Structure formats: structure tokens, C-alpha cells
Chains A and B, each alone.
Chain A
Amino acid sequence: MFDDRCIAVWGSYGAAGLAMIGALIVARLVLGRARRELEQLKQDSAQ
């Protein structure tokens, strides 16, 4: 059903696309978590 040529074309586009989407989601998540942590720490310090 899938020959090497088909896997080479769709597999490489899939890998590149997934990496971009994954990088976007992970970067957004870690940055959001760090921002929340900073806000929390600032509130704790103020108290």
C-alpha cells in the first residue's frame, strides 16, 4: 500500500509539520507555566 517513495514524501512532510506544531505548543506551554510560577512567587513575596 505504501511504498518507499510515498513514505519518503509524506513521511518527511509529516515529520517537519509535526515538529513545527509540537515546538509551537511546547514553547507556549513552558512559557505560560513559567509566567504563572513567577506571578505566584511575586504574590507570595508581597504577602
Chain B
Amino acid sequence: MHKYANPTRFMRWAEACQPYLLALGILLGFGGMIWGLSVPPDEEMQELIKPLFVHVPSAGLSLIVYGSMSIAAFVALVWRHPLPEIFCLAAAPVGAVVTIVALVTGALWGKPTLNTYWDWRDPRMVLELLLLFQYLIYIVLVRVLSQRDPALGRRVGSIFLVASVVTVLLSKFVTEWFLVLHQGSSGANVVELTGRVMMNLLGRGEDIAAEPVEEDGIASVYVPPLLITMLGTYLFYMAIGIWLMRYELIRMRLRSLRRKQSAAHAFLAEATGT
């Protein structure tokens, strides 16, 4: 396991997988979206069920990315390893993009379903916006501090990520704890429905178009396109993350080469007395 913790070795392995992840991500992501556009109308929401297939994957991913960044930051702080820090640097822009997508799709979907684009009294919406600010604060914090001392910048960034993970936990449970405009988490509903769809495929379950598990849950007919879009979106952004990890490693290499170059210039200048 430890041999993959070496950044160069890890990147060699990750870059070998990257084209396949990207191709599969594009295929499943866009394929799932097209499937999502062609699903039959929902009994209650009619055509307005369709934004579900783009909103849920991006909202879920925005929490997953921040959660995994916080775990990686904790690992970096405890074991002082550079790979988790590189992961955090690369994952932050990806997380910010998917959070923006979640906010935009949520607002557009909210207008016809909740009768408003935005409501400051809804904790789930406000926490998602706070999550976007946290991504931006982390990016700016590390970039600004790294101009003087890159190691310090990454370390302070890791402390910030560990300290601010509470937003992710709150976002996950706030719909259960408080009375909010935003509907309940789709996670548990999707997991249970996936089980039912799998049983159905194996010929041991009930009809695929069964009733939703919960009163406000989604019908099982929408689960396959949702899962395909989720998987595609996650694989796609994972492939983008690998590119960005490579970018961060090159930036580190550039900094070290420039430092060596300026030290060599200073030495030459001193030796020749110019």
C-alpha cells in the first residue's frame, strides 16, 4: 500500500487509468443525461422530475469531494505526507465547480417546484452556498500563503479543511433535523430503490415501476438513469481531478527548479564577482 503513496508512482498508475475514466465518465455522464431527459413524466411532478438527474449527482459530489478533502487533510496533518495535500489542491476547483452546478440547477428547479429560486431561511440551501465559499476560501488561502512558503500554505489549508468539515455533516442531516423547503436526502431512498431494481433484474423482485419507498421519495423507474448519471459524473470529475493532480505536481517541480536555478545564478554571480 505504501508504495502507491509515493506521488510519482501514484501518478504513473493514476495517469494510466485516466483516459479510461474520462471516456467512461463522458459516455455514462452524457448518456445518463439523455436517458434522464427521456424518462416518463412523474405522477406528481410531471416533466419537472427531469432536473433530478443533474441536480442530485452534483449536489452529492459537492459533499463527497469536501468530505474526502477533509479526510485527506487529516491524513496529511497526522502523517505529514504530500500526496493527500496534492489531492486537496486538485480536488478544490472540481468541488467548487460541482457546487456551483448544484446551486444553479437547484435554483432553476426551485422556481417551479418551491415557488422560489432561493430562500435564506432554508438551511440546506444556505449550507450549500457556505460550502462554495469554503472551497473558494481554501483555494485563495493556499495560493496566497504559498507565495511565501508553499509548505505552510498547504498545512494551513489542511487545518482549515479539517475544521470546516462540519458543514458537510450538517448538510447531510439538516433535512432530517429541521423543517426545510428542500426535500429530504435522496441517498437512503436511492440505496433502497437500487436494491429493489437489482432484485427485479435478478427476477426476484416486484414490478420495476413500484411505488416510491417514502412518501416524498422517487419512483424506482427513475433509479437506473439517476445511478448511471451519478456514476458517469463521478468518473468524469475523477478524471479531471487526476489531470489537476498532475498539474499541481508540475507546479511543485517548477518551483523547485526555479529555486535551484536562482541559487545557481547567485552562486555564479558571487564567483565571478558581478
Q: Are the C-beta atoms of A8 and B243 separated by less than 8 Å? A: no
CB within 8 A of A13: which of B54, B233, B236, B251?
B54
User: Which residues on A sit within 8 Å (CB–CB) of B236?
Assistant: 20
Q: Whose C-beta in chain A lies nearest to the C-beta of B253? A: A38
Q: Are the C-beta atoms of B98 and A13 separated by less than 8 Å? A: no
Q: Are the C-beta atoms of B250 and A38 separated by less than 8 Å? A: yes
User: Which residues on B sit within 8 Å (CB–CB) of A31?
Assistant: 243-244, 246-247, 250
User: Which residues on B sit within 8 Å (CB–CB) of A16?
Assistant: 33, 54, 58, 101, 105, 233
Whether B97 sits at the interface, judged by CB under 8 Å, is yes
Which chain B residues have a beta carbon within 8 Å of chain A's beta carbons?
Answer: 26, 29-30, 33, 36-37, 47-48, 50-51, 54-55, 58, 94, 97-98, 100-101, 104-105, 108-109, 111-113, 233, 236-237, 240, 243-244, 246-247, 250-251, 253-254, 257-258, 260-261
Whether A1 sits at the interface, judged by CB under 8 Å, is no
A30 to B245, CA, bound (A): 11
Q: Are the C-beta atoms of B243 and A28 separated by less than 8 Å? A: yes
CB within 8 A of B261: which of A4, A20, A34, A44?
A44
Q: Are the C-beta atoms of A4 and B112 separated by less than 8 Å? A: yes
Q: Whose C-beta in chain A lies nearest to the C-beta of B105? A: A12
Q: Whose C-beta in chain B lies nearest to the C-beta of A30? A: B247
Q: Are the C-beta atoms of B109 and A8 separated by less than 8 Å? A: yes
Q: Are the C-beta atoms of A9 and B105 separated by less than 8 Å? A: no
Q: Are the C-beta atoms of A37 and B254 separated by less than 8 Å? A: yes
Which chain A residues have a beta carbon within 8 Å of chain B's beta carbons?
Answer: 3-5, 7-9, 11-13, 15-17, 19-20, 22-24, 27-28, 30-31, 34-35, 37-38, 41-42, 44-45
24 residue pairs bridging A and B, Cβ less than 8 Å apart: A3-B112, A4-B111, A5-B112, A8-B111, A8-B112, A11-B108, A12-B50, A12-B55, A12-B104, A12-B109, A13-B37, A15-B108, A16-B58, A17-B33, A19-B100, A23-B237, A28-B243, A30-B244, A34-B250, A35-B250, A38-B254, A41-B257, A45-B257, A45-B261
Q: Whose C-beta in chain B lies nearest to the C-beta of A41? A: B257
A5 to B45, CA, bound (A): 10
Q: Whose C-beta in chain B lies nearest to the C-beta of A22? A: B97
Cβ of B19 to closest chain A Cβ, rounded Å: 12
CB within 8 A of B97: which of A23, A30, A34, A42?
A23
A18 to B244, CA, bound (A): 19
Q: Are the C-beta atoms of B108 and A12 separated by less than 8 Å? A: yes
Known contacts A12-B104, A31-B246; can you find 10 more A-B pairs with CB under 8 A?
A8-B108, A8-B109, A9-B37, A13-B37, A15-B108, A20-B30, A27-B240, A28-B243, A42-B257, A44-B261
